[in-house]
Amino acid sequence: MHTAVQVCRAVEQPAVEDTMGSVQAVVDHYSSGTLRERVFAALRGAGKDPDNLSAADLVPLDQLHTGGVEATEEIVHDAGIGAGTRVADFGSGLCGPARIFAGRHGAVVHAVDVTPEFVDLSAELNERCGLSSAITVTRASAADSRLEAGAFDAVTLIHVGMNVADKARVFAEASRVLHPQGVFAIYDIMARDGDAPEYPMPWAAAAGDSFVRTVVQYDAALAGAGFAVDSTRDRSAEALAFLDRAPARAAAGAPQGAEAPAGAEAPLGPEVVMGPDMGRRLANLRRAIASGVLAPTVIVARRAGR
């Protein structure tokens, strides 16, 4: 039986090698140097006490994917995550999904991300929410997680593939850490045949830093890594409904670099993490989904073997 390792900080690892050719670009895109200050200021502005946090307090800002916590719960169902399930979350961001897996469903989670600012703050938030015994956070690449082979029941990859050039290598790493018949649940923004989307997007400022691919390309890479696809689900309709419920500022697409009005509290939403031009990025994403250029898609695959 897997035993959770209690941690009060991120697990120290050697420097992450830029094996995929895009790791530093990802780190640069998601780093600001002020994330911790912004997150705690937004929490206080929303009436939350940083010294007395619950995982539920963080849900408005830590579910950094289209569909938010509702989409996370779908992944829980798809991957069969429950009490004692050993989950590796590749590209874990602020550990929003990991806290759902562990806090609501009793899973034991090893979260992996390349961005130091995310890793450090995630570990602190997990401790403040009382979940540091259930979630271990490691700085590593999804292509080289340094996790134990065959040790996990499920691997999740949530809105990460768009930043990964070599998906085949990441999928091979997922296969390595899963036990036979383990589940690999992917939720990414995928391409459809047609026009290129307009940038910036939430995951990339320009097309050169984006690696959006089609379902067919994902399926081929999964097969090459020894996976059989169980199901594929297009979440475009749900994503559009989710984006239409976003705050008016985000839905309208604030101009790049726009700040909140003087004296206004920072909204408790993904813009706290992603920056003040998140509205523009979400507006571009919404247009691309509505026009059929992009499709938020869930693929559930199973590792071969017995």
Q: Would you call 149 exposed, middle or buried from its count of C-beta atoms within 10 A (0-12, 13-18, 19+)?
A: exposed
In SS3 terms, 27-89 reads as HHHHCCCCHHHHHHHHHHHCCCCCCCCCHHHHHHHHCCCCCHHHHHHHHHHHHCCCCCCEEEE
Please state, in angstroms and rounded to a whole number, the distance separating the CA atoms of residues 73 and 100.
Answer: 8
Under the banding of pLDDT at 50, 70 and 90, the label for residue 22 is low
For residue 160, what pLDDT is reported? Answer: 96
Radius of gyration in angstroms for the set of CA atoms belonging to the chain, rounded to a whole number:
18
Bridge-based pairing state of the strands 178-191 and 294-303 = antiparallel
Average pLDDT over residues 65-92: 97
Q: In what order do the strands lie in the sheet with 135-139?
A: 135-139, 108-113, 86-90, 152-158, 178-191, 294-303, 227-234
For residue 193, what pLDDT is reported? 74
| First-residue to last-residue Cα distance in the chain | 18
Local structure of 300: helix, strand or coil:
strand
Between 132 and 29, where is the model more confident? 132
Instruction: Give the pLDDT confidence score for residue 245 in this predicted structure.
Output: 85
d(CA 203, CA 20): 16
The pLDDT, as a whole number, for residue 185 is 99
Instruction: Tell me what pLDDT residue 31 has.
Output: 55
Given this model, what pLDDT does residue 29 score?
A: 55
Kindly list the domain boundaries of the chain, sorted by start residue. 23-256+266-303
What is the C-alpha separation between 83 and 111, in angstroms, rounded?
17
pLDDT of residue 23: 66
- Report the percent of the chain where pLDDT is more than 70: 82
Instruction: Report, as an integer, the average pLDDT of 42-70.
Output: 93
Whether 306 shows a pLDDT value over 90: the answer reads: no
**Alpha helix locations (H) across the chain?**
23-30, 35-45, 55-62, 68-79, 96-99, 116-128, 167-177, 215-224, 236-244, 248-252, 271-274, 278-290
Confidence class for position 11, pLDDT limits 50, 70, 90: low
60-69, 187-196, 252-261, 297-306: range with lowest mean pLDDT: 252-261
More confident residue, 37 or 89: 89
194: left (phi over 0), alpha (psi -120 to 50) or beta: left
Between residues 61 and 79, which one has the greater pLDDT?
79
Compute CA distances 278 → 227, 230, 284, 303, whole Å.
35, 34, 10, 36
Dump pLDDT digits (tens) for 207-245.
Answer: 999 999 999 999 999 999 999 999 999 999 999 999 998
- From CA 164, how far away is CA 20, in angstroms rounded? 7
pLDDT value at 25 more than 80:
no
Q: Which CATH architecture has domain 23-256+266-303?
A: 3-Layer(aba) Sandwich (3.40)
DSSP letter assigned to residue 199: S
Q: Residue 294 above 80 pLDDT? A: yes
User: Each residue of 231-280: pLDDT tens digit?
Assistant: 999 999 999 999 998 754 343 333 323 334 333 445 678 888 877 788 89
